[in-house]
Structure formats: C-alpha cells, structure tokens
Amino acid sequence: MKLKFYKYQGTGNDFVILDNRNGEVGKLTAAQIKKICDRRFGVGADGMMLLEDARGADFKMVYYNADGKLSSMCGNGGRCIVKFANEMKVVDGLCNFVATDGSHRAKLRNGNVQLGMNNVSNILIEEDVFILNTGSPHYVLFVDAIQSEDVKTEGRNIRNNDTYKTEGINVNFVGQTSNGIYVRTYERGVEDETLSCGTGVTAAAIAHHAKNIKSNGNFVILVDTLGGSLKVHFTCKEGQYSTIVLEGPAEFIFEGEIEI
C-alpha cells in the first residue's frame, strides 16, 4: 500500500503527517509506523500524526511516537499539524482541535503557531526536580552546565528507573540563560535526545517560574533548544497555571509517497 505523506518540523522536532479525513489510511500497525519514522528505511521522524475529522471541532490529532506506539500530547506536533491544517485549507488561521488530552485552540500569528495548552495545577517538587504533566508527563531537572550534560545517558537512566519505567517519562535538563532558559530533552518513545520537545519546553518554563519567579501575574518565558527558540506564555495565580500558550515556528519540509 502506498501512503501519501507530508513532513513538517517545529524547532527541529520532525513529524510525518497523514491526511486521514476520509478514513482510507485505516489501522496501521506499530511496525508500519515504526518503519515510516525510521531514518534509514523510512521517511524519518520523531513521530507520526493523523489528521482526522472530529465532531464539534475542526479536526482531530492522533499522535504516534517513533516506536509506533500511540502516545500522549505532543506540543511541537500540535503546532505542526495546525500549520498543515491551514495549508490544506481545513482551517483558516484560527482553529479548535481535539487531541488525546482534550481540546486545544490555536492560531497562526506573524508566521508562528500559538498553541493553547491545558492548565497545570499539580507540580511535584523534590529539591531541583519538578515533575508535572503538560499533556505528557515530564521530569524537569535544573543543571549548571547544560551544554555539557550527557542527556542521552542520564535521561535514559531516569526514564527507565523503577519509578518511571512502566509508563515512561520525558526528561528535561534546564539551564539558565541571560534572558530565559535553555532546555534539552530525552523523549520516551524516541528513546533519545530530540532537538526540541514542545510539552517539555512548556513544563520547563512553568518549573522555572515555580523555582525562580514564584509571583502571580502574566509571564512570557523565552526558551532556547537545540532546534531553535520558543516562547511559553502563561498566567500564574497561587501556584495554578492557566492560559498557557506554546509559541514558535512550524515548517513544511517535503511531501511524497511511501510503500508500506
């Protein structure tokens, strides 16, 4: 079977997107999805998404990790599928879509995609470690030397320890910059460091506020990653985080067909 695909990237986090509004893609196996995402034998991507019809929303986002398993919310993937939906004329600049963690609003602004994220109210804090869920579970660790951090080794060890090995957790290493933070992420499902992680960047920005700022108000945190820069907007009131928006670029790379 030949599949028409579109490849997008958001700050280096890359995805294969399939238009499944007519249902013709059907049920792909984990092995087939893994092959599509394979960087040597397939298209190559950190994950794969299906754009599907949804009752009461503009579309539905179905996300799979590169290991072929159905996964939780992906922030950069969400921004990329919004850009794809706009370019396919499914929506026009502003949209409301459904993902595994519920409804999201998004819009295109000045070439970037602004993606509304779900509220965050529960943060587990253990010294310099912050554990929270921003659509996907995240472990956020503040470190002194972010550029020299062995993200792959340390991230894999944390992700596979007795506490997290069953469900898995994304591990984010965070360093301070002159105007914000720098984030490097080990992603479950990819089982490696990626150039960027949208829900991880969001989690790191909120953890940065909880650790270093702490006051109530409206905030914009500038976040650098290996793949580029993002902004996280949010409101904090007594430790409750709302109106969270992940903002950054999303770009079409190429399209084609693959035999599976």
Which residues belong to the active site?
74, 197
Nearest to 140 by CA among 198, 101, 97, 183: 183
What is the three-class DSSP state of 76? Answer: helix
**Strand ranges, E, within 11-120:** 13-19, 47-52, 59-65, 94-99, 102-109, 112-117
Residue 154 CB neighbours (<10 A): 15
User: Helices marked H in the chain — which ranges?
Assistant: 30-37, 75-87, 151-159, 198-208
C-alpha to C-alpha distance for 104 and 116, rounded to whole angstroms: 6
C-alpha to C-alpha distance for 132 and 112, rounded to whole angstroms: 26
List Cα–Cα distances, 148 to 12, 145, 173, in angstroms. 20, 6, 11
Instruction: Please give the biggest Cα pair distance in the chain.
Output: 55
Spell 224-260 as b/e; 16+ CB within 10 A means b. Answer: bbbbbbbbbbbebeeeebeebbbbbbbeeeeeeebee
Nearest to 84 by CA among 16, 154, 183: 16
